[in-house]
């Protein structure tokens, strides 16, 4: 499982493919305050990113991969500022 859903945290692991976006969206709809732990994520399909952007999800841990983290921050961190 590329995303492990815990109580209030979704833990991303390895490559998260496009298939996960639907489930992720459902989970975020139920857990509006859900936190996302991306540290173990090595890649994330753009569909998932879009869901995260729309949900204005809280990222508790950014990916260890610096390049990926930088890109994700450009999309998600800005929103944190806006909030």
Partner 1 sequence: MTPLLEQFISEARDLLQGIGEKLLQLETSPGSPELMKELFRLVHTLKGGSGLFEFPEMTRVLHAGEDLLDTVRDGRVAYSESLADRLLETMDFVGLLMDEIEATGSSSAAHADYSAHLAKSLQQLMGDSGEVKSVESVPGPAKTAAISASLSLALSELPAALRMRLYRDVMAGSPLSWLEYTPEADCFFKGEDPLFLMLQIPETVWGGIASAQAMPPLAELDAYRCQLVFRALTAAEPAILHELFRYIPEQVGITAIPALVLAAPHDDNNGVPGSESDVDGFRAIVQSQREILSLPDNDAWLPGRLQSVAATLAACLRATGRKELLASLEKSLALALTEVKALPLQTWLDEFLPELPEKEKNSQTCREVPPLPRASGLRAALRTSECSSAGFTGQPLPETPDNTAPAYEEPSVSTASHPDVEIKFGRRAEDSYAVARTLKVDQGKIDRLMSLIGEMVVAKNSLPYLANRAEAQYGASELAREIKAQYAVVNRIAEEMQDAIMQIRMMPVSFIFQRFPRLVRDTSRKLGKEVNLVLAGEDTEADKNIIEALADPLIHIVRNSLDHGLEPPGQRRAAGKPAAGRLSICASQESDRVLIDIADDGKGIDPDIIKRKAYENGLIDEAMLERITDREAVNLVFAAGFSTAAVVSDLSGRGVGMDVVRSTVEKIGGIVTLDSEKGRGTRIRLSLPLSMAVSNVMIIVTNDKVFGVPMESVVETVRVSRSAIRSIQRRLTAVLRERIIPLLSLNDLLALNVPQRANEDGELAVMVVRVHDDLIGVIVDDFRETVDIILKPLTGILGGLPGYAGSALLGDGSVLMVLNFRELI
CB of 48 to partner 1, least distance (A): 8
Q: Which residues 17-76 are close enough to bind partner 1 by CB under 8 A?
A: 18, 21-22, 24-25, 28-29, 32, 43-47, 49-51, 53-55, 67-68, 70-72, 74-75
β partners of residue 9: 35
Encode 41-50: b = buried (16+ Cβ within 10 Å), e = exposed: beebbebbbe
Q: How many CB atoms lie within 10 A of CB 7?
A: 7
Residues that bind partner 1 (CB under 8 A): 18, 21-22, 24-25, 28-29, 32, 43-47, 49-51, 53-55, 67-68, 70-72, 74-75
């Amino acid at each position: 499982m590329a995303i492990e859903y815990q109580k209030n945290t979704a833990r991303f692991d390895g490559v998260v493919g496009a298939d996960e976006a639907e489930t992720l969206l459902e989970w975020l709809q139920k857990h509006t305050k859900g936190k996302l732990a991306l540290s173990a994520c090595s890649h994330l399909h753009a569909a998932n990113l879009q869901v995260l952007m729309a949900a204005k999800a809280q990222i508790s841990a950014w990916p260890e991969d610096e390049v990926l983290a930088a890109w994700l921050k450009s999309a998600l961190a800005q929103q944190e500022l806006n909030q």
